[in-house]
Amino acid sequence: MRLVGLTGGIASGKSTVSNLFRDSGVPVVDADVIARDVVQKGTRGWKKIVKAFGNDILLESGEINRALLGQIVFSDPLKRQLLNRLLAPHISYSIVWEIAKLWMKGCKVIILDIPLLFETKMDRWTNPIIVLWVDPKVQIERLISRDGCSEGQAQNRINAQLALDWKKSEADIVIDNSGSLDDTKQQFQEVLMKVSEPLTWKQRLRSRDGLISVVVFTAVGVLLAQKNLL
């Protein structure tokens, strides 16, 4: 199994590239979707957030006010660290479970779309690592347009993450998403060819079929050894 890491900065276009992978038939485990799921009303993650941040963090419906929570944690590093500590176990478990389900289906290539790939040390489990890079000015403009925030708020959110240039230096593959969608699609086709290459022998062993083969050959070897000893 090839577990491909997909990351970048906020408003760098990860969703666009994730959708391109899905449209190409490659399964994607989206950490942002999982992060939303683990704080749905009544979940353990939801209860932890309410306990830590108070009932003022809730909408009238009882759901987490994600916009307000974002304002709080992006302006206060300590509260951001607290939120990460509260939710990290639930998010990590759900990510592993989603990967396991795809593995059991026999998927040979899985995309792990996770903004905090390096921060959570999950980069050690992925190969290759794809980083979505975007020009800093374009990134701020997109974030302001997308979220309706001020330039200062946008910069605070960007500064709350590892520098995108550093992530770029750690990448195996870089997609420059500063231009048009057509430019991104053209780069994506080259990336798709790379991640779809035949698995290495180590990756084959980590696949479901590879594991089954190892078990079968081991069982046959044991039976033959027992037969020779009789």
Whole-model pTM above 0.75?
Answer: yes
The mean predicted confidence, pLDDT, of the chain is 87
Residues 6+ apart with CB under 8 A from 43: 37, 90
Each residue's pLDDT tens digit, 1-41: 889 999 999 999 999 999 999 999 999 999 999 999 999 99
Q: What is the pLDDT of residue 213?
A: 42
Homologous superfamily assigned to 1-27+107-197? P-loop containing nucleotide triphosphate hydrolases (3.40.50.300)
Which letter does DSSP use for residue 130 in this model? E
Examine the pLDDT at 47 and tell me if it is beyond 70: yes
Tell me which residue of 28, 16, 18, 6 sits closest to 174, measured CA to CA.
6
Each residue's pLDDT tens digit, 130-160: 999 999 999 999 999 998 889 998 998 898 8
Q: What is the pLDDT of residue 74?
A: 86
Tell me which residue of 33, 43, 124 sits closest to 86, measured CA to CA.
43
Examine the pLDDT at 208 and tell me if it is beyond 70: no
Q: What is the pLDDT of residue 79?
A: 93
Residue 54: strand, helix, or coil:
coil
Q: What is the pLDDT of residue 197?
A: 85
Tokens for 24? 């190409």
Q: Domain residues of the chain, as ranges?
A: 1-27+107-197, 31-106, 203-230
Over residues 80-94, mean pLDDT: 90
Q: Give the position of tokens 């086709």.
A: 189
